Structure 1
C-alpha cells in the first residue's frame, strides 16, 4: 500500500508542478533527464512583464497587495502571493545593472537622490563617498600598513557592511567577501547584491552560522560600540574566536574605548595583537588568532 502511494505521488508531482508554474506565469524553457541516473531537471523562466498576470482567469496564487514590501526578508512570514514585475524605469528590478566590474563602483540607478543614505548624504552621493573612503583605507592602510599576509587570505567577512564598499575595494584581490548587514542597521543588502557582491542579514547578538567553513579575516567597522547598546561584547568576541581559523585575523575600527575593550578580550584568548592605534577617540586594531586552546582539567575523583 505504501509503495502504491509513493508511486502515485511521484507520477502526480510533475503534473502538479506544471499546473502551479503555469498559474504563476512561469515559462517551461526545457526539461531533460539524465541518461545515467534517470534524474530529471526542469528550467523555468519568470515573466518579464505583468501581461500574463493580468490575463489569468483564476487569480491563484493571488497578487500581493500594494503595501506588501517585496524587499522585506528578515523574520518575515511567508505569504502565498506574488509581487508584480517592476515597470517604472526608476524602480529596482526594472532593468539590468551595469556590467561587472563597473557595477561594483557604480551607484545603482534606483538610488534616490531625494533620500538620505546611511551617512546622511543623498543616497547616490553617500554610496560614492563610502566607496572612495574604503578604497583609500584599503590601499593606504590595509594592504600594506597592518602587516597582513594577504597571500594567506582567501575568505573575508565584513561584520558590519553598509554599502559593501570595503568588499568592492578588495575586488582586485583574490578573496571572497561575505558582507553582513546588521538587522538593527539600514537595509542595504539590495545595494550589495546590485553591486554583484555576496551578503546576508545577521544579528550579532546571536551566533553566526559558518558551516562548513571558517574565515581567514574579519573586518569590524564600528560594530562593537553599536553592539554594546543591545548585548554584551564578550560573547561576540568569543564568537569571533570561533569563526576565525588559527592564524587568521580581525581588523577592528571603532571608538577608542570599544577597541580597548576588544583588545583586552582578545589578549585573554591568547590572540596576538599586532597593531593598535588611536587618534581623536577613534581606534584601529589588528590581531591574529593563535593555536592556543583552553586546557581541560580533570576533576579529582
Structure 2
C-alpha cells in the first residue's frame, strides 16, 4: 500500500528552505558591502600594509641606460639605513671564489688550485665592487658578439698572445672579435658548418651544448645562429679575462675547470659537448674527465674533440710533442671512448666526433668483458663539491634496444613547452604533467606583468639574464627570445633538484649555493630575477651576503625583480637603498590582499675613482 503524502508539510518545508536561502544571500551581500567599505578587519590590515609599503600598480623607475650618475641618495631612505661603501679600485674585477692569491695556496695537481675556493666569513668584503672608469653599457646583440668597449674589460694581453689565432683585436676604444679560435682561425661559422654536416645542429635536435675550455666563447657566440645554446666555461688563469670577454659579448659562460670536482650540471643535460684545444688531459686519471663528460651528455649526444691529439701524425712536430707521447694520448682516448661505448662517427683533419650510445642495452656485453666500473651512487645529479670518480653512471632502464634512456627530448623549439621526459616519467618527486602545465601558465602571467612594469624587458636592453631560483625554468621559457638568454640557477639547498628538467626544455643552468659567490666576474648580468630566494635562504646565511653578491654581478643600471613575502621584501628594500639602488614595491598581480609582493630595483651608475666619488 502506497504511503500517504502530507502536501501541507511539504509546502511548509519548501517555504522554510526558500526563506533560509534568501536570508543567506542578504547576509553575504551585506557582509561583502561592509568589507568593501574598508571596515572589515582583514581588508583593513591589507590596506594598511599597502599604505606602509607604498605599493603601486606601476613603478616610476627609469630602466634606460645613461652611462652617468643618477643623482643623490638622500631621497631613498632614512638615517637608519646601512650604507655600504665602495671597495678599493683594485677589486674592480674581484671574483671571491676564484681569487688568484688564494688559489696559489692550493695544490696544482688536477687543477685543484683553479677550482672554487671561497673566502671564510672573516675575509669577505662588505663593500660595493666599483666599475672601472669609463665603463659603458655593452653594445646590443648582435653587435656585442663582435665588439666590446675597451673600458669595460681593459686588458690587452689576449690581443698579443692570441693574435695569430684571430681571437680578438684591439681597435681604438673597442675590442673586435672576428670569430676566430685556436682551431678555427678562419672563423667559427665555417667550423660550425663543418660540424653541422655530421651533427644534426640545424633541425633543433641539438639545442644545448657544453664548451669545455671556451676561450672567449666564439664557438658559443656563433652557435646562436643555429639556435643552439652553449654553456661555456674556462678557468681564471693566465688567459686574462677570457670568460669576462665572453659575457661582455652576450654569450653564456662561467668561470670553471674540469679538475677534481664534478661539473655543476645534472646528468643527461647536454646534446653536444665540445673541446677545441682545451688542454684537458682526456686520457689521464683513468679516464675520469671523459667519464664526467659522459655523465652530463644525454643519450645519443655528441662529443667533439678538435686539436691535439687528433691528426697527430701530421702535427706532432708543430705541437712540439714526441711521436710516441702524442700517439699514446690518442690511444688512451680511443680506449676510454670504447669503454664508454661511444661510437666514433667522423674524423677528418684535426677534429673527431663521437656519439654516445642511446642506452645501456647497446653495449652491455662489451662493458662486462672489459670490467667497467659502474658508479654506486643512485643520484648522479648530486654534484656540488663532490669529487669525480673513475666510474660510469648508470642509465635509466628502457623497454627496448631502440629506446632512448631517460626519454628523447623533442626538437627545439617544441621542447621548450612540451612535457619534459623527467616529468612525464614521474622522476621528479612532487611534480606531475598537470602541475608542470600550471607552472607554465603561472609564469606566463607573471612575465606579462613584468613587461608592464618594465617595457624594455623584451627590447634587447637586457641580454644576460639570471634567474636565481629557477624551479622548472618556466620564467625563462616565458621570456624566451633570440634577444636574450637566461642562466637558470637551481640552489643546492632546494628540496628537489629540477635542473635536469630545465635542460630537457632546451634551456641552460647551473647548481649554486647563494651563501657563496657565483662563478663569474663583476658586472656580467643585465637583469636578475629573484623569486623566493630570501625566504629560501632564511637562517642559512646573511641577507647582505646575497645582496652584495647580486650587486657585484649586476651591471651599472642593471635591473632586479624580486618576488617574495612582503615582510622579507621590506628588509631587502631597506638594505639595497644603502647599496645605491633605486627601488619600488608593487602589489601582486592578484591585488593587495596577496602577501607576496614584487620589488623592482635599478642599480645606479657609478664608477671607481681616486676618491670613490659617485660619477
* Match among 99, 123, 133 for residue 411 of structure 2: 99
* Match among 325, 330, 336 for residue 9 of structure 1: 325
Distance apart, 1:110 and its partner CA: 3.6
C-alpha separation between the residues in 2 aligned to 1:115 and 1:87? 12
Partner of residue 198, structure 1? 508
C-alpha separation between the residues in 1 aligned to 2:426 and 2:344? 41
Worse overlay, 17-26 or 264-273: 17-26
2:369 aligns to what SS in structure 1? coil
Q: Does 1:138 align with 2:452?
A: no
Distance apart, 1:225 and its partner CA: 1.9
Q: Does 1:63 align with 2:374?
A: yes
Worse overlay, 55-64 or 265-274: 55-64
C-alpha separation between the residues in 1 aligned to 2:530 and 2:514? 11
Distance apart, 1:183 and its partner CA: 0.5
Query: Gapped runs of 5+ residues in structure 2?
Result: 1-318
C-alpha separation between the residues in 2 aligned to 1:58 and 1:182? 40
Question: What pairs with 1:203-242 in structure 2 (closer than 5 Å)?
Answer: 203-211=513-521, 214-242=524-552
Partner of residue 423, structure 2? 111
Highest relative contact order (Cα 8 Å, sep 6+), 1 or 2?
A: 2
C-alpha separation between the residues in 2 aligned to 1:230 and 1:295? 35
Greater strand content = 1
Q: Aligned pair in 2 of structure 1 residues 71, 237: CA closer, same or farther (>3 Å)?
A: closer
Q: How many residues align?
A: 285
What CA RMSD, in Å, does the superposition of the two structures yield over aligned residues? 2.9
Partner of residue 23, structure 2? none
Worse overlay, 68-77 or 214-223: 68-77
C-alpha separation between the residues in 2 aligned to 1:57 and 1:285? 57
Partner of residue 490, structure 2? 181
Q: Does the 8 A contact of 1:24 with 1:53 survive in 2?
A: no
C-alpha separation between the residues in 2 aligned to 1:26 and 1:292? 52
Question: What pairs with 1:40-51 in structure 2 (closer than 5 Å)?
Answer: 40-49=350-359, 50-51=361-362
Q: Aligned pair in 2 of structure 1 residues 106, 23: CA closer, same or farther (>3 Å)?
A: closer
Q: Does 1:24 align with 2:336?
A: no
Partner of residue 37, structure 1? none
Q: Aligned pair in 2 of structure 1 residues 208, 110: CA closer, same or farther (>3 Å)?
A: closer
Q: Aligned pair in 2 of structure 1 residues 187, 150: CA closer, same or farther (>3 Å)?
A: same
Q: Aligned pair in 2 of structure 1 residues 20, 113: CA closer, same or farther (>3 Å)?
A: closer
Q: Does 1:167 align with 2:454?
A: no
Worse overlay, 286-295 or 91-100: 91-100
Distance apart, 1:87 and its partner CA: 3.6
Distance apart, 1:131 and its partner CA: 0.8
C-alpha separation between the residues in 1 aligned to 2:354 and 2:576? 50
Distance apart, 1:27 and its partner CA: 1.5
TM-score by length of 1: 0.83
* Match among 231, 250, 265 for residue 575 of structure 2: 265
Q: Does the 8 A contact of 1:105 with 1:195 survive in 2?
A: yes
Deviation per CA, 1:165-216, whole angstroms, max 9, x where unpaired?
A: 1001012462111110001111000000000001100000000012486111
Q: Does the 8 A contact of 1:25 with 1:53 survive in 2?
A: no
C-alpha separation between the residues in 1 aligned to 2:531 and 2:334? 48
Q: Aligned pair in 2 of structure 1 residues 72, 224: CA closer, same or farther (>3 Å)?
A: same
2:452 aligns to what SS in structure 1? coil
C-alpha separation between the residues in 1 aligned to 2:571 and 2:320? 64
Deviation per CA, 1:214-251, whole angstroms, max 9, x where unpaired?
A: 11110001111221220010111111111110111100
Q: Aligned pair in 2 of structure 1 residues 113, 87: CA closer, same or farther (>3 Å)?
A: closer
Distance apart, 1:283 and its partner CA: 1.8
Partner of residue 285, structure 1? 599
Worse overlay, 223-232 or 185-194: 223-232
C-alpha separation between the residues in 2 aligned to 1:11 and 1:115? 43
Q: Does the 8 A contact of 1:26 with 1:46 survive in 2?
A: yes
TM-score by length of 2: 0.43
Distance apart, 1:297 and its partner CA: 5.4
C-alpha separation between the residues in 1 aligned to 2:456 and 2:382? 37
C-alpha separation between the residues in 2 aligned to 1:262 and 1:42? 51
* Match among 438, 442, 451 for residue 129 of structure 1: 438
